[in-house]
Amino acid sequence: MFWLKRKKSSRIKYSNIDPDEVLLDAFNLPSFDTNQFEGRVERPIQRNIPLFVGSFAALIFLTFLFQTWNLQIVRGEALALLSQQNRLDQEVLFAERGVIFDRFGRELAWNTPPEFIEDPKTYDMFSLRSYTKQEGFAHILGFVGYPEKDSSGFWWRTDYVGKAGVESSLNETLKGENGVRIIEVDALNNIQSQNIIRPPVDGENVVLSIDKDVQAALYTAIKEGAQRAGFIAASSVILDVKTGEVVAITSYPEYSSQVMTDGAPKEIIQSYTTGVGKPFLNRAITGEYTPGSIVKPYIAAAALSEGLVTANTSFLSTGEIRIPNPYSPDNDSIFRDWKAHGWVNVIEALAVSSNVYFYTVGGGYEGQEGLGIEKLAAYATRFGFGQPTGIDFGSEAIGVVPTPMWKEEVFGSNNPWRLGNTFHTSIGQFGFLVTPIQAVRYIAAIANGGELLVPHVTKNAAIIQRSVGIDDQYLEIVRAGMRKAVESGTSLAVNVPGIRIASKTGTAQLGVRNESMNSWVVGFWPSDNPRFAFATVLEKAPAGTLQGAAPAMRSFFEWLVSEQVEYTNGNYPSKEIQE
């Protein structure tokens, strides 16, 4: 009985204290830290819980195993065939490029949809760009590059890219945003299903300030004038003197926008790069030319504004002026006029383009104070020379206004500025360079009372202008001189019945021996209430060529009188023209 009790007691003791608890409690015993006292598991995990968890995991495993067997073994061959016969394609939905219109809503550049394209295998997903067939529009419109695929048939370029003209400068407005469509097709490329996930957004249309008819007629005039007189190139711009809108802007020779966009014929494209006329050069905004006598109106305005002369101040032109040469006292430096004009005041000097008069007011002579090179350069800057015009298409050249600093940079410090350099600057020579767009902007400021405009080719753009700082009473005298030049002076060639033009011509000598020349004519109309300014340059003909820019423009003005009489009165056509 005693033995039984002891055995029972031992069994009870063993069931309440596990060996690990004995060890843990013994470790804790010396300090008897109750915070570290190890407790006991009062209720052990039930035996059926691990069994349940294990069974659930086994069920999941068996389900995956069965599905794998079903897909791989039972249905494997059918599914493999289905995956080979069907695929998902992501297709580009090309946005339509914006249409370019002239100021009267006539299309200059538009799109030909794929269904009207003769070779749908080549262009079956996007429209082709089409351009007016009239000459004279290439440099204003430019051309585009199409979306392209690589040799594997993947699109590496999905947008139209404007590469010149307004196609480039207004590319962000014109291009729109492509869309995306998901298409499921079978092995025979039959569409099984499709879904547009992003629709295309077409580009915005653009209305230019250009008049299509005036642009074409102006190009024809300068092209025929240049070819007739033996000039290799030409450029002309017409500007609204009140708004800064460009009514026409041309450059001859030109390329074909259609040929460049289509990329063919290759032989024509090759001829553009080898021809002497450089048809890719937009001469209107990047051609830099010695201005010659077309700078005389601004110099006359400066001399009047500075009080150096009045409208009645006259100087004697004997055909030359002589200046003592400090390096050769026995030989005077001679600065020639193109002829002896006698006594001339500012209006007469502008009319006959007297060099002697402008040598005198520019550099000073025989007691008459001149402007000097600093003021000549400062007034040139006021009229926008030597700086970009800000026109809203294409990068433009800035030209050169000669100064002592410029001469030192170009010729070195051992070649200082001399009085003769001032004389030559006064007649638009000696390093003076301007672009046609600068020239027409400057003449517009003479015409409109002294507001220098920022030209723009988009219709109804904001008018941006600044004053040249010359009182209009002096500019009125200059305008009178330019009108007299048409009536009886050097611009007689543009004295066209039916339109009152004020003008100034200029001839610039070229070459080491002055063997070539450029010919300029600038001006505005109507002379009594100016609305439009023009600037035309014919580039490089043999020296002494008699027919130049003014005769070329005469044919244009005759066309204007005959076909667009409203322009001759300083108005746009009264009715919107639609084609």
pLDDT in tens, 378-424: 999 999 999 999 999 889 999 999 999 999 999 998 889 999 999 99
Nearest CA to 252 out of 538, 569, 491 is that of 538
Q: Which residue has the higher pLDDT, 47 or 180?
A: 180
Residue with token string 């746009």: 572
* Distance between CA atoms of residues 490 and 249, nearest Å: 24
Q: Is the pLDDT of residue 320 over 90?
A: yes
Cβ(300)–Cβ(484) under 8 Å? no
Computed over every residue of the chain, the mean pLDDT equals: 88
Question: Mutual orientation of helices 355-363 and 419-426 as an angle, nearest 10°?
Answer: 130
Confidence of residue 14 (pLDDT cuts 50, 70, 90): very low
Roughly how many angstroms between the first and final C-alpha of the chain, as a whole number? Answer: 128
Cβ(292)–Cβ(342) under 8 Å? no
Alpha helices by DSSP H, listed for 38-104, are: 48-69, 76-85
Secondary structure of residue 460 in the 3-state scheme = coil
Per-residue model confidence (pLDDT) at position 92: 86
* Distance between CA atoms of residues 30 and 16, nearest Å: 22
Residue 148 burial (CB < 10 Å; 0-12/13-18/19+)? exposed
Q: Is the pLDDT of residue 470 over 70?
A: yes
Q: Which CATH architecture has domain 88-207?
A: Alpha-Beta Complex (3.90)
Per-residue model confidence (pLDDT) at position 20: 56
Sketch the domain layout of the chain as residue ranges. 88-207, 212-568
Secondary structure of residue 543 in the 3-state scheme = coil
Beta strands in 217-354 (DSSP E): 233-240, 246-252, 315-317, 320-323, 333-336, 342-344
Question: Mutual orientation of helices 372-382 and 419-426 as an angle, nearest 10°?
Answer: 30
- Partnered with residue 239 across adjacent β-strands are 246, 533
| Least confident stretch, 318-327, 362-371, 558-567 | 318-327
Q: Is the dihedral of CA 569, 571, 576, 579 positive or negative?
A: positive
How many residues does the structure list for the chain? Answer: 579
| Least confident stretch, 260-274, 317-331, 428-442 | 317-331
| Least confident stretch, 201-205, 211-215, 327-331, 425-429 | 327-331
Per-residue model confidence (pLDDT) at position 1: 43
Q: Mean of the pLDDT values across residues 89-98?
A: 88
Write out the DSSP string of 328-341: -TTS-EEEE-SS--
Confidence of residue 129 (pLDDT cuts 50, 70, 90): very high
Q: Which CATH architecture has domain 212-568?
A: 3-Layer(aba) Sandwich (3.40)
pTM: 0.83
Q: Is the pLDDT of residue 27 over 70?
A: no
Per-residue model confidence (pLDDT) at position 413: 86
Confidence of residue 80 (pLDDT cuts 50, 70, 90): low
Per-residue model confidence (pLDDT) at position 120: 53
Confidence of residue 124 (pLDDT cuts 50, 70, 90): low
- Partnered with residue 184 across adjacent β-strands are 88, 193
Percentage, residues of the chain above pLDDT 70 = 86
Q: Is the pLDDT of residue 26 over 70?
A: no
Per-residue pLDDT of 344-377, as tens digits, reads 999 999 999 999 999 999 999 999 999 999 999 9
